[in-house]
Amino acid sequence: MNKPVSFLRISPLLAAVLVALIQTAVLGYMVESRASILRNGVDVRLKTVPIDPRDLLRGDYVTLGYAISTIDRSMIVGETPKTAGRQTMAVRLVPGADELWSASQASFGSLPEQPGSVVARTLPFDYYPGAEGEVPESIFVSYGIERYYVPEGEGRVLEEARNAQALEVAARVSSAGRMQIRQILLDGKPVYDEPLY
């Protein structure tokens, strides 16, 4: 008669400790990856464009739109997808004479490094080519910096400044192309600094 195989049994206390350690490690990784971008990323300054200020779970926020979020067909280099689906893009950002950065080139693949420019990576988006696989006139993308949370009651001031085109964002771009907001500027002066932790 075969004896049943016994599985490894651990005490409930040990299981709870293991779960807590795993959760702590995951949260630590998320916080550190954001802090790493803010510590080591390349600075870019972006002008916001007019685009609602409430999240029931997290409080007031400002929705931010950027000129770099609209990719014109003329900027795209390399192969383009011929069928619809989820895509990401690499977008080359270059500084202007006014110290604001703009998009100069984009690719569904990768872009080589060039001195004086930074390559940002978009979040995944739904891509729909034209009837014969042609690229649309323009593609709207996001970078993960389109929402900024503020203390309760302060969102309206920033929204008004955004709508008056007096709001700018100083962001950092990691070597992998991920972006994080570092600072919010109103009429060129810092009003919010993002802490590392």
Mean pLDDT by 10 residues, the chain (197 residues): 61 84 86 83 83 52 92 96 95 95 97 96 96 92 92 83 90 95 93 84
Under 8 Å between Cβ of 75 and 104:
yes
The pLDDT, as a whole number, for residue 9 is: 76
Q: Which long-range contacts (CB under 8 A, 24 or more apart) does 103-109 make?
A: 103/67, 103/68, 103/71, 103/75, 104/75, 105/75, 105/77, 106/71, 106/75, 106/76, 106/77, 107/76, 107/77, 107/78, 108/76, 108/78, 108/79, 108/80, 108/81, 109/78, 109/79
The pLDDT, as a whole number, for residue 136 is: 94
Under 8 Å between Cβ of 68 and 91:
yes
The Cα–Cα gap between 34 and 195 comes to: 10
Task: Say whether pTM exceeds 0.85.
Answer: no
The pLDDT, as a whole number, for residue 170 is: 95
Under 8 Å between Cβ of 66 and 48:
yes
The pLDDT, as a whole number, for residue 15 is: 82
